[in-house]
A and B are shown apart, each in its own frame.
Chain A
Amino acid sequence: MTADTLTAGGDAAGNALESSYLNSGSGVLSWLFTLDHKRIGVMYLVAITASFLLGGIFALLVRTELWSTGQTIMTADAYNKMFTLHGAVMIFLFIIPGIPAALGNFVLPLMLGAKDVALPRMNLTSFWFWIIGASFALVSIVIGAVDTGWTFYTPYSTTTGTAVISITMGVFILGFSSIFTGLNFIVTIHKMRPEGMTWFKMPLFLWGLYSTAIIQVLATPVLGITLLLLIAERVLGVGIFDPALGGDPVLFQHFFWFYSHPAVYIMILPAMGVISELVSVFSGKHIFGYRFIAWSSIAIALLSFLVWGHHMFTSGQSGITNMIFSALTFSVAIPSAVKVFNWLATMYKGSIRLATPMLYVLSFLFLFAIGGLTGLFLGALSTDIHLHDTYFVVAHFHYVMFGGTVIAFLGGLHYWWPKMFGRMYSERWGQVSALLIFVGFNLTFFTQFVMGSHGMPRRYYNYVEEFTSLHRASTVGSYVLGFGFLIMAIYLFHSLFRGKPAPANPWGSATLEWETTSPPQAHNFDHELLAGDPYDLDALELDPAIDGWVRRDPRSIILAEGGGR
């Protein structure tokens, strides 16, 4: 359906789009069974955006319920289900596949100058597994929802009467979807890099996707078996997590966080890759400290497997275990800070263009710094005893995941939008929306830092009167946030039909995806490309006639004429 509206849009604007991946086949089936990485990326984009909308509605309902003490709009049981569904939908349906499966799928082969990912059928399978997994999750909502929180902790999850099996089955299947994407990206990056692109000439987004993929394939299977054990515990009563049978419910927490801590880096690493691309392009400067940024992605991926115990400081694990996990947790700050300082150094003395994607970069730097530093509060044992299970944790998590990942996703979406759909969006409305989202976000979650440090427990339905004004400020913030997204939805949708046709390279980027038309043709490139320095921005100049950037020496990146690849 997207295909039809898009091609129709091209005609309506009076300049029919050239042959592109969008109109190279028509009808819904040509999309649902396509092997084209671009179409799969677009389908993923539609799917995760719908999930984001659903998760966002749950969030607004949660915030509305917290407008006043006692019951505002729903019962306590309904509230427990709402925050569980908000978490589960946002994590498993939106943010984990978000950047890799939607933006990554579209951009990765283009950045390599390739025709497709290495395993296109597996790519389509990944998407279908997402659909099946999401269906299970939706079924669970219909048949009674889940009230365990997105973490499914035992023993509550093995005893509650809600639809735990359906949603865990859904998450299990979504895990395969994620593994397939990661596996595909690893193989593609290893085997399909073009002539001239050594590992350290790859765009940093690819380093981000590569380190993400490592985590996806190493951590996700453990989640898979954990969820199977949880299902077995409920269906068969096997006893591994059941203390009455000598089992250990805390073992579930170990299993769960062995996946889910690396999973937060599945969420943030591709976001960092997006920022690395954007910060260079919109500062008009070569990226600073390329190798440090690349290696820090790998360092974060590896460290991510060694810190899961910091989710369990109060679970009764031994003091020495706590100390080790605390120390390892602090070490994650090093590669994270390496990235932030390199991004700042890239901006230093650059000619910064405050286009919409760059506004998201600035938002990211500001919010991720707060999110990252408050992580140290929680990694320190003594302060964590005070702050654990409070709104402080909720705020920290949202500053990193929303302020980090979602903001970077939006930056990337605006950056690659012209490439994906061949249309420019309204820059002015883009800026208004970015500003609203920044303000709304801070109002929503900064207040939660304050509440958390004063002892407001997370996930509670009710609260003492003293917190009323802060809760209301947070709720108002969430409405501002929602309004910002509404504006974005309107202008992006509008741009599909009425947007100015995009030039091949609207931003002056030097990576290979900008060497093809916007939108790209079905087989991506006319020529076999020779990769050079992906951040050599001086090789491009603005051509006012097309309002886009062109290479000073167009022949410099062509290895062979014709689609030899």
Chain B
Amino acid sequence: MGAHHHGDGHDPNLAHHFESADQQYQSAKLGMWVFLMTEILFFGGLFVAYTVYRVNHPEVFVYGAHFLDRGLGALNTVVLILSSFTIAWAVRAAQLKQISLLRWLILATMACAFAFMGVKAVEYNSKWKHGLLWAAKYSHHVEEADHDRPTAATDPAVSPDADPNRSAIPPAAEGPAGLAKPAGETDDTVAEVEPENAKVFFSIYFLMTGLHGIHVLAGIGAMIWLLKCLARGDFDGGHFTKVDMVALYWHVVDLVWIYLFLLLYLID
């Protein structure tokens, strides 16, 4: 606080304890990268939990992944990649002082973020309806007619030899229970073979996508803040640091989602 003895003609965008705008920008940038490193490690813990559980119980993941809607997951992936593009463009617009374009690009990124959350809400709602929730709340009954349940013919989990190019996940028959059925079962019998603890897949699904969703919401908050700064005229002089920092954060949110999509939706 105290030291308001700026030199005359001091740039109001330069904090008193920095010597130059470049030093200030470099500090913000380094700080942001270090922060993103902590974010990666934060998610890293969940990825480790995922890995440990999947190595111990591969059949749970093979089974559970069928209840996720790949189409919606892919749609969300496209939406987020598009938003990464718009926010990257926004940084360029800020650097070139294209304020009006900058506003539109931030709004476009926000629109993508809301679209992502909307699709996520549809997905969560469907899981909720079918009782596909985390372990303690899981109430899914295989007898129910599930329109999003896979058909047996396309389920390599029950016919591990059907596709020689399938992933390196051990065949489901090695799991402790349930899936060691011969290939060619009918649709109805597949429904019976829910492996033990399949519900933990949904614990992990909700933990990972939930934490990611919170980060998307934080990103929306950051973009509202950018719009406020824009309205205040902060970016008029080509001061793009704030846009740049939010963009970096947003790219990480996007990147985490790409891994979540691969690891949760595309298990076969």
Q: What residues make up the interface of A, taking CB atoms closer than 8 Å to B?
A: 21, 24-25, 30, 33-36, 39, 109, 114-120, 122, 179, 183-184, 186-188, 190-192, 217-222, 224-226, 228-229, 232, 236-240, 242, 245-248, 251, 255, 522-523, 563-565
Contacts and interface: CB of A to CB of B under 8 A. Distances in A.
Contacts of A565: 17, 19
Contact of B207 (A115, A119, A226, A232): A232
Contacts of B56: 246, 248
| Interface size range on B against A | 35 or more
B136 A240 contact: no
B27 A119 contact: yes
Contact of B30 (A179, A186, A240, A251): A186
A25 B4 CA distance: 12
A119 B29 CA distance: 11
Nearest to B7: A564
Nearest to A232: B207
B203 A36 contact: no
Contacts, number: 147
22 contacts: A24-B2, A25-B2, A33-B1, A114-B17, A118-B17, A183-B31, A190-B30, A192-B17, A192-B23, A217-B37, A236-B134, A236-B135, A238-B134, A238-B135, A239-B200, A240-B49, A245-B199, A245-B200, A246-B196, A246-B200, A248-B56, A251-B52
Contact of A221 (B5, B38, B60): B38
A229 B42 contact: no
B41 interface: yes
Contacts of A183: 31, 34-35, 38
Contacts of A247: 53, 200
B57 A191 contact: no
Contacts of A255: 45, 48-49
A563 B3 CA distance: 10
B39 interface: yes
Interface of B: 1-3, 5, 7, 15-19, 23, 26-27, 30-31, 34-35, 37-39, 41-46, 48-49, 52-53, 56-57, 60, 134-137, 196-197, 199-200, 203-204, 206-207, 211
Contacts of A187: 27, 30-31, 34
Contacts of A35: 1
Give the one of B26, B31, B43, B46 with max A CB within 10 A. B31
B197 A245 contact: yes
A115 B134 contact: no
Contact of A246 (B34, B53, B206): B53
A30 B15 CA distance: 19
B100 to A, nearest CB: 30
B27 A246 contact: no
Instruction: Count chain B CB atoms within 10 A of each CB in A25, A35, A217, A225 and give the residue with the most.
Output: A225
